[in-house]
């Protein structure tokens, strides 16, 4: 009785605003990204845990959670997965999600194309020559251009001969 109704929310990381499918993965992410000691790479469980570890083991103070977005670096907050997140931020997130839902619903009515492909295909260090693109076959074969050029030159020659 008197318990607050809690709507199931997709797990997300308070520190960097990333979505996760599973809270277990979120916790793994937080340990690896936000609660990892930058000196000995030990993974702690919470921000304060990391601060205490650094203080006791390395005699270093940590002034913010690593890899956190601005305003979310509070090392004192004991956040573990979805637990410990300040209520106001939970509310804000809920509002944001509702807004997003409405937007995606609108978008889905207009077009059913999803451009969710987010693979970062980083270009390698070696530069690719644009000439490789002709392999696609949409461009005229090169001998055409050469033929055109030679034709142009020969007509020019004849014109010159005729004029001279």
| Residues making contact with Zn ion (CB under 5 A) | 13, 15-16, 37, 39-40, 42
Long-range contacts of range 150-154, CB-CB < 8 Å, 24 or more positions apart? none
CB of 39 or CB of 152, closer to Zn ion: 39
In angstroms, what is the minimal distance from the CB of 49 to Zn ion? 11
In angstroms, what is the minimal distance from the CB of 70 to Zn ion? 14
> How is 81-109 classified by DSSP, letter by letter?
TTBT--HHHHHHHHHHHHHHHHHHHHHHH
CB of 26 or CB of 147, closer to Zn ion: 26
Measured distance CA(66)–CA(54) in Å, rounded: 13
CB of 11 or CB of 15, closer to Zn ion: 15
In angstroms, what is the minimal distance from the CB of 29 to Zn ion? 5
Contact assessment for residue 60 and residue 54, using Cβ atoms and an 8 Å cutoff: yes
**Phi, psi (5° rounding) for residue 80?**
-135, 110
CB of 19 or CB of 91, closer to Zn ion: 19
In angstroms, what is the minimal distance from the CB of 72 to Zn ion? 9
Nearest to 85 by CA among 70, 74, 96: 74
Chain centroid, CA 56 distance in Å: 35
């Amino acid at each position: 009785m008197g318990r607050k109704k809690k709507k199931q929310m997709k797990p997300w990381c308070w520190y960097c605003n990333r979505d996760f499918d599973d809270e277990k993965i979120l916790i793994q992410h937080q340990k690896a990204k936000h609660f990892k000691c930058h000196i000995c790479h030990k993974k702690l469980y919470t921000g304060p845990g990391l601060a205490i570890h650094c203080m006791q083991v390395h005699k270093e103070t940590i002034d913010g959670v690593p890899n956190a977005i601005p305003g979310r670096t509070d090392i004192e907050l004991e956040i573990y997965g979805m637990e410990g997140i300040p209520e106001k931020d939970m509310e804000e997130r809920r509002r944001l999600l509702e807004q997003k839902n409405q937007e995606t619903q609108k978008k889905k009515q207009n077009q059913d194309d999803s451009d969710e492909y987010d693979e970062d295909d980083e270009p390698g260090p070696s530069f690719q020559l644009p000439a490789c693109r002709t392999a696609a076959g949409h461009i005229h074969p090169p001998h055409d251009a050469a033929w055109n050029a030679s034709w142009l030159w020969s007509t020019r020659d004849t014109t010159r001969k005729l004029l001279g």
